[in-house]
Chain A
Amino acid sequence: MEDMKQLQEEIHRDRRGFLKKVLAGTIGGSLLMVYSASGREIAEQIPGMREEDTVFTKKNFIFIVDITRCIGCGSCCIADKNEYNVPDGNYRTWVERYIIDDHDEVFVDSPNGGLDGYTKPRTDIPYPVRDTFFVPKLCNMCEKPSCTQVCPVGATYKSEDGFVLIDEKRCVGCGYCIQACPYSVRFLHPVTKTASKCTWCYHRVRDGLLPACVSVCPVQARKFGDLNDKTSEVYKIMREPHIISVLKPGMGNEPQLHYLGLRREVV
C-alpha cells in the first residue's frame, strides 16, 4: 500500500505540472491564433452530401437507436436544446429510463426529459430489478405520418425525401397534429406559437453534417445514415439479424426510426 501512496503523490505533482503546461498553453495559444473557421471547412460527416444540388436528397435516410448502448448521459438532449434553443418544458428529443422488476412491473421516468442527466437511482422499486435500460425518443419520421394527415392548412408535410417538417410561416397553431402524433414528439412552441418537433436536423443533414444528437453521442447509441449506401452502418445493421423494431407498430405509421434491442415493454 506504500506504493499507492507514492502513486498519489506523483499524480498530484504531475497534475499541477500538466495544468500549467496544458491549460496555459491552450489559452495562450488560442489567443494568438486567427482562423477562418466557417462551417464549410468542417469535414463532411455524410459522404457525398455536399455535392448534391437537387431540391430533395436522393438518399434514403433512416435513424437507428441502439438501446443496448445508451448510457443515459443526455448529451443528445443538451445538443438538441442548444441547436434549437428549445424552450424549457418542451422536448424535441428525450431519454426515458425503464426499470422492470422481477414481478414484471414496469417503472419509467424521464426527469426533465433526461436533459439534466440521471443522477439518482430510483428508490421506489419494490422487487429486485430484472432489467433496466434507457430509451431515447425523437421524431419517428413516419412513412405514413398521422400528423401531416390532419394538418388543416398543409403546414406540416412529408417531403419527397422522407422528412416530416413544419412550415413555421404557415402553421396556425391549432394543435391538431399534436393530438394526432402517437409518439407525442410534437409540442406547441411557446415563442413562435406554432407546432414544433424534431426534424432529424434537416438543415445539418442537407449540409453534410449528422443530426446534432447523433454527432454528440459518446457511445454511438444513435445512428443515422443512408439505406441506399451499402457501406453505411445503418445498412449493415438493417440487413443483419438483430432485434430491430419500431415503436407502436400497431398504429400503422411505419416509422423510419428503428430501435435496436428494444424490449416489448417499451411504448
Chain B
Amino acid sequence: MSAVAASGESLAAISNFVFPNDLHVHWSLMIVLYPYITGLVAGAFIVSSLYHVFHIKSLKPVAQFSLLFALAFLICATWPLMNHLGHPERAMSMMLTPNPTSAMAGFGYIYSAYFIVLLLEIIFIFRPTVVALGAKATGFMKTVYTILAIGSDNVSAKALKLDHKIISFLAAIGIPMACVLHGYVGFIFGGIKANPLWATPLMPLIFLLSACVSGIAGIILTYIILMKVSGKKVDIECVQTLIKFLWGFFILDFVFEMLELFSHFYMATHHWHTLEALYSGPLFTTFWVYQVGIFSVIPFFLLMAMSLIKFKDGILLFFAPIVSIMILLQVILMRWNVVVGGQLMSKSERGATTFHPMWFEKEGIAVAIFIMIAPVVILWLIGKVLPFWQTEEGTETA
C-alpha cells in the first residue's frame, strides 16, 4: 500500500491543472453518435442472422425488417463522421492512402465491405418479392424493381435454391463482419494508450456487446410501434424471444462494463487516480446515476422478470418498449461517457475540463437530432419500396 502511496500520493493530489490544449473537447456529439449508429446496425444485423443462420424460428417476423433497419442506419453511419471532419472533401484519402498502422484507416474498407454484404443479402432475400412486385408495378416503380431484381425475373426453384445458398453464405460472413465492424469501432478507442479511460483490451468487446444490445432494443421498439400504428397483430413469441436475447446480451454487456471499471479500481495503477477523480467528479451524474443506476439496473431487473416470468401479453407489450427505450438510452449514455468522458480528463493527470454541447453549432444537438431522425426517414422511404414484413405464407412467389 505504502509503495503506491510513495509514488502515487503526490500525483494523486489533484490540483486541477489541465494542459492548455486539453481544454477543448475535440470529439463531441458526432463521435458519440457514430459508434451508436454503427452499433444499431451491427445489433440489427445480428437479429436477422439469428433467424437466417441460427434458425431461431420465432424471430421470423422481424428477420427481414431488421435487415432494412440495419441498411437505413448504415447509410447514415458516415454522416456524423463527415460532419465532424475538418476537411470532409478529403475523406476519400482514407480509401486512397490508408495508413496501415492506423486503427481508423480500416474504417473506409470495413464499412464499404459491410455495406456491400448487407446490400447483397437484402437483394437476394427480397428478390422473389421484388420480382413479384415488379410484375405488378408500372412506370417509375417498375424501373426501380427491375434494378433491385438486377434485371432478372427468374424465380424458378433452381434459381431460389442458388439464392438460398448465397444468402446463407452472406449471412454467415455477415456475422463476423458485423462483429468486426463494431469491435473495430471499440478498438479505435481501446487502442489509444494516452487515454487511460479508453486504453483497455475490453473496449472492443464492450462496444460489441452494447451494439448487440442497442440493435435488439431498437428492433423491439420499432417492431412494436410499427405493428401498433398499422393495426397489425404483434407476434408475442417473437417479442418474448427478442427480450430473452436482449437480457442475455445485456447481462454480458453490463457485467463487462463493470468488470472493466473494477479491474482499473483493483489494480490501482497511477491511472486509477485520474479515473477515480473522473468518475467521482465530472462523470458522476452521467455515469453512476444515469448509465449505471437508472438505465442499467432498472432494465436489468425488468428484463430478468420478463424473461423468467410469464406475464400477460398486455403487460409484456407495455413493458417491452419501455425497457427498449431505457436500453437505447443506456447505450447512448455509455457512448457519451466513454467518448466525451475520456476527453474530459486531461493528459496532465491532474484535472478535468468540462463539456456542454450547444444546440446550434456545427456539431451541436440540433444536428445530432437531425442525424438520428434521418435513418428513420430513410427506413420509411425503403418501406415504400420493400415490404417490412413477410406475409403469413412466407415468402411470396408470383
Contacts and interface: CB of A to CB of B under 8 A. Distances in A.
A108 B107 contact: no
Given A176-B188, A188-B26, A193-B86, 12 more contacts: A89-B20, A113-B20, A148-B101, A153-B105, A175-B86, A181-B347, A182-B194, A184-B19, A184-B21, A264-B10, A267-B11, A267-B348
A110 B94 contact: no
B86 A152 contact: no
A188 B11 contact: no
Contacts of A152: 93-94, 98-99, 102, 104-105, 107
A153 B10 contact: no
B24 A187 contact: yes
A89 B23 contact: yes
B244 interface: no
B17 A108 contact: yes
B87 A194 contact: yes
A149 B19 CA distance: 22
A176 B102 contact: yes
Nearest to A95: B20
12 contacts: A91-B20, A94-B20, A105-B10, A106-B13, A107-B17, A150-B102, A152-B99, A153-B90, A179-B194, A182-B347, A184-B348, A267-B11
A251 B15 contact: no
Contacts of A264: 7, 10
Interface string B62-99: 00000000000000000001001111101101101111
Nearest to B90: A172
Looking at chain A's contact residues, is the secondary structure mostly helix, strand, loop, or mixed? loop
B396 to A, nearest CB: 45
A96 interface: yes
Nearest to A175: B26
Contacts of B194: 146, 179-182, 251
Contacts of B21: 90-91, 178, 184-187
Contact of A267 (B105, B343, B350): B350
Interface string A90-105: 1100101000100011
Given A182-B347, A194-B86, A265-B11, A150 B23 contact: no
What size tier do the contact residues of chain A reach? Answer: 35 or more
Interface residues of B, number: 47
Contact of A150 (B85, B104, B348): B104
A89 B104 CA distance: 28
Interface string B24-51: 1011000000000000000000000000
Interface string A108-152: 111011000000000000000000000001000000001011111
A213 interface: no
Contacts of B9: 104
A182 B193 contact: yes
Interface string A152-195: 11110000000000000011111110111111111110001110
Contacts of A180: 192-194
A117 B26 CA distance: 27
A87 to B, nearest CB: 12
B87 A172 contact: yes
B26 A178 contact: yes
B349 interface: yes
B103 interface: yes
B86 A172 contact: yes
A151 B87 contact: no
Name which of B84, B86, B193 has the most chain A CB atoms within 10 A of its CB.
B86
